Structure 1
Amino acid sequence: MDNDIFGHCKEVDRDQLNKSKSFTILPVRIHTRNDIADAACLALSRDWGSVVGDGREKIFHGAISPTGNWNAFIFPECLPDRLGLISYIGEVGMLHDDACEEMSVEEARTEHEALATALDPQGATSASTTKDTRNNKLKTLVSQAILESFRLGHGEAMEMLNIYRNEWLRVMEHDNTDDIKTLDEYFYHRARNGGMGSYWNLFSFGMNIRLSADDEAMIADLKQISEQCFLLTNDYFSWEREFEQSASQDQGKVFNAVWFLMSKNGLTEEGARERVRSMISDLEAEYLSGRSKLLAAGDVPSHVRKWLGACAVAMGGNHYWCSTCPRQNDWHSAPRLPPTDQVSVAELIGLASRDSGANSGGQQRRGYPSPESDQPTHQGGDSAPTISPGALDAPGMIISRTNAEDTSALGPGSDEGHLSDTVVMAPTAYISSLPSKGVRTLLIEAVNTWLDVPADALSTISSVIDSLHNSSLMLDDIEDSSPLRRGHPSTHAVFGSAQTINSATYLYVRAVTRIMTLHNSTTAVSIVLEELEHLFIGQSWDLYWTFHSTVPSRKDYLAMIGAKTGGLFRMLLRLMACASPLLSVSEAGSSWAARLDTLARAVGRFFQIRDDYMNLVSADYTTQKGFAEDLDEGKFSYPLIVALSASGRARDHVLGILRSKMPGQTLAIEAKRYVLGLMEETGSLRETGELLASLEHQIESEIVGLEGLLGRPNPMLRLLLKTLSVKSTLTRTER
């Protein structure tokens, strides 16, 4: 092979290969930063034990091996700053896969979906999720890794995670492997089970190579040969372990080519293993021959040439690792647990800038005996203001002191219930069925990392917030004459305004009724009523400005959204704090409760101004709600207020356009583009983006402060903020 394509790996001595059980004819190389891959796997072992806590990491043999880390072999040319995160995420999958081997197919599918949801930055688990459920533990486990991957490129990281979820976790289980009839069918299902689609994506992502459609077509045959070789190599060396484990598995769960040939071709175990061995050798030779022919034909781009060379080395490295690793050869032994001084996930990228000798040079690899002196050492590497007269002032603490009387005796009349609530709940069922960003659910999950709200109370609070949010959306769409909600007809367009208003109002009754079931119901009801008052007052000013075409000041607008949008976020966090066993009402003035209140206010302000901003610059918002829909509604968003305040000409022109629009009509697309041009001319979009960046920084600071006060990191909350960030959009609009 051409050595000039390799910059991050070095050759393993052939004498060492001869001492192993390997029989590969391919070159074997190992990444020079094996120490990073080891550090990532040890970090995962420690994190799994502290977060998931099922003890599986104590019996798990993963990628670490005395001869080198599996990830250092199968990602030989991975950029050093990507190797740690790829190794961490891969180790999550391997540990998860081992756990699923002991489950039924249906149980395993449920477990796969839980991890798939956890790996979705915008995915939310059920509303009743608490920090003690396995789903939320998995979410907590991988959140920091996802957050770190965004540092390497948001778009690439999202693509990598999507493929990991959808081309492995959600397709890996087959109902019954005994139903597979042909070898081609076996390879198809085995590739899905083995996550080959995810592997190829990680392989390219690690090298920062993006293959075009033409590139993929050029290497398609070689890629298929390589894929089959990977799968058969794993099957060959894992056969004894998998055969032993099959005794405790459901029938039809064994996924191994040796087993397939024994059951379908009538071969003995020895004959089947020999056939698989022969197939591996044939595939290796076929790959080398095919690659040579392709390169000899010319016109192979340098990045494709590098990809093919690294692929051959990865195949050879996988073979060598499988022949020597404890996972396939010493699975009965207890794995060595990580020392307490291991690096964290957040430090993995930074390891690439450190000398690997600081971690492994001349030292015994952590967790394993020192290898023989002639083995490779795996060293080296590369280097709120208020509106007068103060009606919008909100309470300063998350939990306010109250002397309100207990209202628990107030309940529905004894003669109610003879009519079904089907009709009154139909609009609610409709709007609940529409696609949702899931931000509130994600926020609940993240904040509960700190507050430990019991599951039943958390379910009640989540249900109440959902009801009030849906009520607000239904009323907003009527008041704004909005035809679309999340890309679908608004609720009043389906059920009529009268029925929608009735249903929206009914939700307030249901919300208060449910809140009264909480243990601390008196305080909880007071919180709901206080924040509803702020919400309605804030909405009144929004409607007033729209109806009278009155341009509010920045200060008044911020006060309005602090009441209207911030009210629901404050209500959520105040109710969670109220139900938390960590905080009694008498502790409402504590410093962390005050910071939680500040966080709620900042999140509410950020969320509304972000919505204003994205309504103008986001193609996705155009699809969901229509282009610049706020202008159709005559609403004064923050960017518009800035533009109208900056230019008398812009103010006159925009107000003229808005006043000339007939009720119920939408503005012409040309008029919207003209208004958007005025915003760009006055710099209002830039100022709005800068304000959002400032709010992001404020929220980050509050998270840091709360993490320090509560002694618990919250990567889930950091990840949520990262997914809502508009910094990349701001960069594009400025260009």
Structure 2
Amino acid sequence: MSSQALDDATSYIIPLSTYDTHGLCTNYPLRRHKWEAEANAGSQQARSDWIKYIGPIEEFGTCNPINGNYPAVALPFTKPERLSLIAYLMEYLFLYDTVVEHEQQEWNDTDPALGRVQLQAKILLQLASTDSDCTERVKSRLKEALAMTLREKDTHFDSLEQYLECRMVDCGAPLLEALSLFGMGVTLTEEEDAKLEPIRRPCFIAIGLANDYLSFDREYLEFSESVEPKTLKNAVWLHMQWYHVDVSAAKKMVLDKTRQQEDEFLENCARFRRENNDMPEKLNRHLEALAYQVSGNVVWSLNCPRYCPDYRYDPNAGIEDVLTKKSMPEMLGINYDALFVHKADEDSDKQVDTGSDSNTGYSRTSSTDSFTTNTSTEPETHRDASTSSCTSAQSSIGIEKSMAHHLPKGELLDCEHIKAPFDYISSLPSKGARDVFIDALNIWLNVPAPAVSHIKSISNRLHSASLMLDDIEDGSSLRRGQPATHTVFGTAQTINSGCWEILNAVQETQQLGLKAVKIVLEELSELHIGQSYDLYWTEHSRCPSEDEYLEMVSKKTGGLFRLIVRLLLDSSESKAPKGNLHTDMGHLAGLIGIQYQIRDDYQNLYCRDYGVQKGFCQDLDEGKFSFPLLHALSVQPGSKKLLYELIQRRRDAGCLSYEQKLLVLEQLDCAGSMTYTRETLKRLQGEVHKDVKKIEDMTGKENWILRALLQKLKIHS
């Protein structure tokens, strides 16, 4: 099916002449999504969550029962199954903007700051689980927009150029573009992004200025009634100040500038198409989508309840579908059906249309459930937004039938294959050291049993997932004396399973609270940064300094130890002063991580039993700059050249022969590197025991379990 046919199947073409646009959007097209009920449902779910986690809210967001919910008219190319999620995010942003503007009071039964973080976490989790590739751009633009909203709240602007640099981001235009791409399931390469940057700039400016022009009356009224001295961040107000003119004159100046930017964007698009005849269809479609953002933004703003008091109703009643069912035939001559995306767990021969003519109003179980449980009706392998399984472009019935035809008649696909690699590595012999470590620390912290159980599960999931991925990245063929997971299930399936388990770990962390999720994400980030350096040094045969190596280990290996400690501290019911415990136990976790990794490096080269588990001197085959090797390269000029020659042979052949490995070990002994490594481990062991004793004294509890566990890390000459 062509893009045009797909668009006609999912949205209505609306004549722009239907509306008094104040001369804006001349020569622009307009569409309205047929699955607008999904957008209404997403908006209402966001409001419900806002009230639950943050507090009461009476301000309006994206809903507009007359001209259409914001994403329904600004993002008409969105896949129906993604519309609710996008509307949820946009509703949240509108309400967030209101809180920042008015510094809304805190409520007795909620923590608004924590609630906002919780909702943002929910949004990002849902986005990533729907389409992780497209989510990266949304995350980046969302972070940028939220930061700009706070940073530029009371900024004084001296020129229009200075203001527009801020306003383009603050109005959410780059985020809107990212949501458009997410909605279509399209990603841009860096090269494509760079090409489009000058093309879309006037589009972003036009959206920001149109927003200022059409929202000014509401903002100016609130500004005039405010008893607090402040400025108004609106282009109309700024023109009044810069040029000493009244409201009418300033509005005309902003209107003219907006039209100019709209025209410039269309000219840019036409020129870009002429100069790039062979450009991918996705770029052409993206430019079309940007144009719909311009017109949709204007049409929505004309009579949205957020800007226009005359059109307001109870924003929390959930009656948008009822109101739209009345207004759409009157305004556009189109009968409104509340279409919802068909859920996978419903009988597949039901129609997608689950709307009701009932006058009770809000009946959106299908849509809100699809958001909170992340069900999807379209296989996410269909990445190209220009393709569709629809068989008819003439009406919504066509796409409904097609979607019903392709939906499974039940839960045919379970978790068997995605779990198999993880189950395999979990079945391999393990000493259960992490569980013992957690139990040992809990002697000091008094963490409730349910939380301890979750922390053990989370740490084991993350550890096993990291082993699966590490073995792929390192090219390891053995794990615990058995074939590495990817040599059994294949690289792709192992990566998929490992990533899935990381997601499961993050989801389980939600049982411990929002702060726990933040802890896990922070330490996962540190772990991956550390791993990136380990991989980079190996790939480029670049020997790190000892300080660089220790920092890498602190991030990579120490990350899981710190994660465990921080989760336990966060769940602790101990009466000991947590401030000191946080510092001292964090330091202890870091030392143990470093000790563990250096010991692992030593064992890999020196221990016969380790060779059976992982292969003889496996680190040399993998090209790693382990602690003994980097020491030898830094202190033994004579052997340095020989060692680098052997490293190069490893790169050429992918491994070293038994004889070559013996030669490396000989050079390490000559450099005193194995002795230096043993001495370093003894020093670390002493520091670890000092930290343990300090915490024992602080808590008044000896920790024999931890001491016994640490004893196993000792290296014997």
Name the TM tier (shorter chain): 0.5 to 0.7
Secondary structure of the 2:11 match is: strand
- Mapped to 1, the partners of 2:620 and 2:173 lie a distance apart of 59
Could you report, residue by residue, the CA deviation over 1:565-616 in whole angstroms, capped at 9, with x for unpaired residues? Answer: 4533x568x7343xxxxxxxxxxxxxxx5x5443343334445555666666
- Mapped to 2, the partners of 1:631 and 1:244 lie a distance apart of 64
Q: Which residue pairs with 2:286 in the alignment?
A: 307
Secondary structure of the 2:196 match is: helix
| Amino acid paired to 1:329 | C
The alpha-carbon deviation at position 153 of structure 1 amounts to 3.1
- Mapped to 2, the partners of 1:59 and 1:97 lie a distance apart of 10
Alpha carbons 1:160, 1:198 under 8 Å: kept: yes
**Pairing 1:199–2:176 present:** yes
Q: Which residue pairs with 2:383 in the alignment?
A: none
Secondary structure of the 2:210 match is: helix
- Mapped to 2, the partners of 1:622 and 1:326 lie a distance apart of 49
**Pairing 1:321–2:300 present:** yes
Change (3 A) 1:611 1:349: farther
The normalised TM-score by structure 1 is 0.51
**Pairing 1:146–2:124 present:** yes
- Mapped to 2, the partners of 1:153 and 1:677 lie a distance apart of 38
- Mapped to 2, the partners of 1:96 and 1:148 lie a distance apart of 19
Match of 2:232 among 241, 245, 254: 254
- Mapped to 1, the partners of 2:609 and 2:185 lie a distance apart of 45
Alpha carbons 2:216, 2:234 under 8 Å: kept: yes
**Pairing 1:211–2:188 present:** yes
| Amino acid paired to 1:71 | P
**Pairing 1:70–2:35 present:** no
The alpha-carbon deviation at position 277 of structure 1 amounts to 2.6
Change (3 A) 1:649 1:270: closer
- Mapped to 1, the partners of 2:109 and 2:447 lie a distance apart of 13
Match of 1:567 among 419, 434, 440: 440
**Pairing 1:55–2:56 present:** yes
Q: Which residue pairs with 1:39 in the alignment?
A: 41
Change (3 A) 1:567 1:380: farther
**Pairing 1:224–2:201 present:** yes
Question: Percent identity over the alignment?
Answer: 17
Aligned residues: 450
Q: Which residue pairs with 1:169 in the alignment?
A: 146
**Pairing 1:289–2:267 present:** yes
Alpha carbons 2:80, 2:341 under 8 Å: kept: no
Q: Which residue pairs with 1:599 in the alignment?
A: 454
Change (3 A) 1:147 1:666: farther
- Mapped to 1, the partners of 2:466 and 2:352 lie a distance apart of 49
- Mapped to 2, the partners of 1:195 and 1:661 lie a distance apart of 48
- Mapped to 2, the partners of 1:267 and 1:13 lie a distance apart of 37
Alpha carbons 1:180, 1:186 under 8 Å: kept: yes
- Structure 2 gaps of 5+ residues are 322-339, 364-394, 404-426, 474-527, 534-550, 558-593, 634-642, 657-717
| Amino acid paired to 2:270 | S
- Mapped to 1, the partners of 2:602 and 2:463 lie a distance apart of 9
Q: Which residue pairs with 1:10 in the alignment?
A: 11
The alpha-carbon deviation at position 653 of structure 1 amounts to 5.8
| Amino acid paired to 2:456 | R
Secondary structure of the 2:279 match is: coil
- Mapped to 1, the partners of 2:3 and 2:465 lie a distance apart of 51
Alpha carbons 1:33, 1:80 under 8 Å: kept: yes
Q: Which residue pairs with 1:620 in the alignment?
A: 530
Q: Which residue pairs with 1:95 in the alignment?
A: 95
Could you report, residue by residue, the CA deviation over 1:5-31 in whole angstroms, capped at 9, with x for unpaired residues? Answer: 836643443287237777532211012
Change (3 A) 1:132 1:278: closer
Alpha carbons 1:239, 1:256 under 8 Å: kept: yes
Change (3 A) 1:284 1:206: same
The alpha-carbon deviation at position 174 of structure 1 amounts to 5.4
Change (3 A) 1:349 1:315: farther
- Mapped to 2, the partners of 1:364 and 1:350 lie a distance apart of 24
Q: Which residue pairs with 2:485 in the alignment?
A: none
The alpha-carbon deviation at position 50 of structure 1 amounts to 1.7
Mean Cα displacement is larger for which, 292-301 or 231-240?
292-301
Q: Which residue pairs with 2:353 in the alignment?
A: 358
- Mapped to 1, the partners of 2:647 and 2:40 lie a distance apart of 59
- Mapped to 2, the partners of 1:321 and 1:352 lie a distance apart of 34
- Mapped to 2, the partners of 1:51 and 1:178 lie a distance apart of 30
The alpha-carbon deviation at position 652 of structure 1 amounts to 5.8
- Mapped to 2, the partners of 1:244 and 1:145 lie a distance apart of 33
| Amino acid paired to 1:29 | R
The alpha-carbon deviation at position 234 of structure 1 amounts to 0.9
The alpha-carbon deviation at position 207 of structure 1 amounts to 1.9
- Mapped to 2, the partners of 1:237 and 1:655 lie a distance apart of 64
**Pairing 1:335–2:314 present:** yes
Change (3 A) 1:279 1:575: same
Secondary structure of the 1:209 match is: coil
Q: Which residue pairs with 1:243 in the alignment?
A: 220
Could you report, residue by residue, the CA deviation over 1:12-57 in whole angstroms, capped at 9, with x for unpaired residues? Answer: 43287237777532211012221211111011111111222x211x
The alpha-carbon deviation at position 86 of structure 1 amounts to 1.8
Alpha carbons 2:62, 2:87 under 8 Å: kept: no
The alpha-carbon deviation at position 140 of structure 1 amounts to 2.9
Alpha carbons 1:75, 1:314 under 8 Å: kept: yes
Change (3 A) 1:558 1:671: farther
Secondary structure of the 1:30 match is: strand
The alpha-carbon deviation at position 160 of structure 1 amounts to 2.0
- Mapped to 2, the partners of 1:236 and 1:161 lie a distance apart of 28
The alpha-carbon deviation at position 356 of structure 1 amounts to 8.2
